[in-house]
Structure 1
């Protein structure tokens, strides 16, 4: 890759190294320079531009990031992960569900040692994650990486499998609380509620709770009667020896103590056991009555998610196990900073227009290949990384509704569709799921929009980085559709009127808008007249862009 000042007459297609404001236009770094960009630079008096020129031995940053991410998770769904579309040389991997993340550190180290341009960062091994939480990111540091280095980095993973999410496997537990003479009932109740919250956060919905005297015989009887897949013991008095009440009761019913005590503080006075029928049992330390993270949380997470754990595993928890000295240690499901997460994106297809320029034909029912145009664009949204797809139709529009039969969409009728596109935007916004972080507005008359267009917008969306509105552009950088708006703009969108769509919001918030180049010219092709349809068909329409 050549990097440095390049004469303008040699710079077409080169990648701009630094953002520039030229003639009222902002040229963003990382974008390939077009003829229009070069004309603007010449008009502003520039003769050279600092840019990167890729050679045949280079792989562009986005292609390289996607290649490495695919090697990290060759079958992401089976690994419990999802992979974002690449953007500016970055591809993120997210948890599909909650669970415990396993990271093969040796493989990640091997990959990162191959070439300085190819990097992968992950959460630590055995991290408990929430659904949609980011677990790893691939970053290509320059604008391109040597193809040989990318392939060598992928080969260092040894066939993939370096990341795997273990979701919860246990759905029920039995909690046995022991009482000492004079013990307050409030303390027993506090312990039961704290354990219930911990288990609920791990997806364990069934919990039977029993209270018995702090003696071996009644505790053993309660263990025999326990029906949960996991048995938990929270003693009224701390377990201080392998021969104490809790461990003795486990052995009395034919169980075995696998580990007594752990090198984690708080959490030292824990014991791990196995009942005679193979079910795991855990003697909980008294610190579980408080919400703060403790050693029992680490063991519970692995047990619930069926991650093997034994005496040796607990012995290795000492490094990093001094939890009481971490002032900001997290509390299970109890506030704190939000982990980096994949945004919740709702796609809204605006399909309530009358299409008066079609001479009586319904443009949304025109055939594109084997299906109506409306079905094609909606299927593109469904095949993308959007979390839900909403279609706004005119009331009692049975023909368009029929075109969507069998698709997993929500149809919203707009009774005031005649007022213009803004009314359909408002109708779509009212139907969004409550936790939506962003809405992508898609026009229904754009035959070349595919999943890749939507995925590019979702990958680029990052309000913290100022990318709160993301607009699809064609491969030449000319803006088009769809457009993705972050939650902060929902109120502005809901106040729109008339038939200009969201142009007013785009104009008023230009500093937040990022135009993302997408495949081909589909972002700007909409078909409103019979003549436009005829011309497009004559050009042999390309297949739907892939994801």
Structure 2
């Protein structure tokens, strides 16, 4: 940047905010950093005591902060300005809208309900470079349309193109140049609920588990196609699972029978259905006895422990959004849930605005 007489600054880009103070009335910026000075601005600038200004001086190999912020946006979303679709003051790409660059900063907002994903290693590579930053909400979390997803900015007023290129090279080395962020829309699914337990099957108690699932599933684009009650006979449960799949179920939820008691045979029944078990037992409380499996055709079959019925939040709330977004869950990913996997049972539940599962 360079210092220039205010009278000669028409067409120049301000490198700093211009603040006006009127006693008892106002204190704030008259012009923001990045503003292009016009002829009409000169008297205003002189009235606030600015005889000289710091203005942007283009140099070979250097980028203005807003240009650098646009490159950070591309790291996050992928695509260029030409590929992004402008809607008023926003540009939408990959189900995320980006604000226009201002003072070297851009924010991303969800344009639909879905599962927010973050490439943590690639994000680390960018933030390790210095002079630039990207801050996001936690990945693998459910978001709703209008939720803020990320903010990014270049720290100094100008940054070298070489430094931005270095960050891009680091991302390509880490993940082949894929976008750091993604938003996977929820996919409409057909769900079957299978309730197990002789006490429910024989009418000794009322099924209070299914209504809980119906309430949770009601927030997603799903249709419950069947509700079946089975005895503790594992073959009956296996037959119910296979029957649900034959009806076209994309997701089968088996409730109860998940502990180590002799009569709790749901894990065996799921295994006998031909499902491939991803995990039986997870480092999450509530939800340690949770089971996740997939059929060869990709349909998910879950065994839900009793805590899902009475606890406000459990591992089911962490895994369900991923399954509904067709984002396969691995054993290794479940293992990482130990840190943050302890629900604190707060008097007023604020999930997902808490540390559970993150």
Q: Normalising by structure 2, report the TM-score.
A: 0.78
State which of 265, 270, 292 in structure 1 corresponds to 2:312: 292
Q: Is the 8 A contact 2:123 2:134 kept in 1?
A: yes
Aligned to 1:140: 154
Aligned to 2:118: 103
Aligned to 1:194: 212
Give, in whole Å, the separation in 2 of the partners of 1:250 and 1:92: 44
User: How far 1:196 moved relative to its partner?
Assistant: 1.7
User: How far 1:14 moved relative to its partner?
Assistant: 4.3
C-alpha spacing 1:111/1:16, structure 2 compared with 1 (3 Å): closer
C-alpha spacing 1:243/1:101, structure 2 compared with 1 (3 Å): farther
User: How far 1:232 moved relative to its partner?
Assistant: 0.6
User: How far 1:92 moved relative to its partner?
Assistant: 2.1
Give, in whole Å, the separation in 2 of the partners of 1:132 and 1:291: 28
Matched, 1:232 2:253: yes
Matched, 1:8 2:6: yes
Matched, 1:248 2:248: no
Q: Is the 8 A contact 1:293 1:330 kept in 2?
A: no
Give, in whole Å, the separation in 2 of the partners of 1:99 and 1:88: 30
Matched, 1:311 2:328: no
SS in 2 for 1:137: strand
| 5+ long unaligned stretches in structure 2 | 85-91
- Cα displacement string for residues 41-89 of structure 1 (whole angstroms, at most 9, x for unaligned residues): 334555345x453332442332322232123222477743333322332
User: How far 1:192 moved relative to its partner?
Assistant: 1.4
Q: Is the 8 A contact 1:101 1:129 kept in 2?
A: yes
Matched, 1:150 2:171: no
Q: State how 1:362-401 maps to structure 2 within 5 Å.
A: none
Aligned to 2:196: 178
User: How far 1:129 moved relative to its partner?
Assistant: 1.5
SS in 2 for 1:323: coil
State which of 127, 130, 152 in structure 2 corresponds to 1:115: 130
C-alpha spacing 1:146/1:36, structure 2 compared with 1 (3 Å): farther
Greater CA deviation, 172-181 or 55-64?
A: 55-64
State which of 37, 40, 43 in structure 2 corresponds to 1:36: 40
Give, in whole Å, the separation in 2 of the partners of 1:312 and 1:242: 29
Give, in whole Å, the separation in 2 of the partners of 1:146 and 1:203: 46
User: How far 1:295 moved relative to its partner?
Assistant: 0.8
SS in 2 for 1:263: coil
C-alpha spacing 1:119/1:326, structure 2 compared with 1 (3 Å): farther
Q: Is the 8 A contact 2:198 2:230 kept in 1?
A: no
Give, in whole Å, the separation in 2 of the partners of 1:307 and 1:329: 26
Aligned to 2:226: 208
- Cα displacement string for residues 520-540 of structure 1 (whole angstroms, at most 9, x for unaligned residues): xxxxxxxxxxxxxxxxxxxxx
Give, in whole Å, the separation in 1 of the partners of 2:5 and 2:335: 63
C-alpha spacing 1:255/1:66, structure 2 compared with 1 (3 Å): closer
User: How far 1:131 moved relative to its partner?
Assistant: 2.4
- Cα displacement string for residues 397-447 of structure 1 (whole angstroms, at most 9, x for unaligned residues): xxxxxxxxxxxxxxxxxxxxxxxxxxxxxxxxxxxxxxxxxxxxxxxxxxx
Give, in whole Å, the separation in 1 of the partners of 2:153 and 2:217: 36
CA RMSD of aligned residues (A): 3.2
State which of 297, 302, 322 in structure 1 corresponds to 2:342: 322
Structure index of larger Rg: 1
Structure with larger RCO (C-alpha < 8 A, sep 6+) = 2
Give, in whole Å, the separation in 1 of the partners of 2:130 and 2:332: 35
User: How far 1:245 moved relative to its partner?
Assistant: 1.3
Matched, 1:163 2:163: no
- Cα displacement string for residues 185-214 of structure 1 (whole angstroms, at most 9, x for unaligned residues): 1xx2x4212212322323223342112223
Give, in whole Å, the separation in 1 of the partners of 2:312 and 2:178: 36
Aligned to 1:61: 65
SS in 2 for 1:308: coil
Give, in whole Å, the separation in 1 of the partners of 2:143 and 2:29: 39
Give, in whole Å, the separation in 1 of the partners of 2:216 and 2:275: 25
User: How far 1:282 moved relative to its partner?
Assistant: 0.3
Q: Is the 8 A contact 2:97 2:111 kept in 1?
A: yes
Q: Normalising by structure 1, report the TM-score.
A: 0.53
Q: Is the 8 A contact 2:286 2:311 kept in 1?
A: no
SS in 1 for 2:338: coil
User: How far 1:248 moved relative to its partner?
Assistant: 1.8
C-alpha spacing 1:11/1:174, structure 2 compared with 1 (3 Å): same
Q: Is the 8 A contact 1:100 1:129 kept in 2?
A: yes
Q: Is the 8 A contact 1:170 1:230 kept in 2?
A: no
Give, in whole Å, the separation in 2 of the partners of 1:93 and 1:71: 12
User: How far 1:314 moved relative to its partner?
Assistant: 1.6
User: How far 1:233 moved relative to its partner?
Assistant: 0.6
Matched, 1:93 2:108: yes
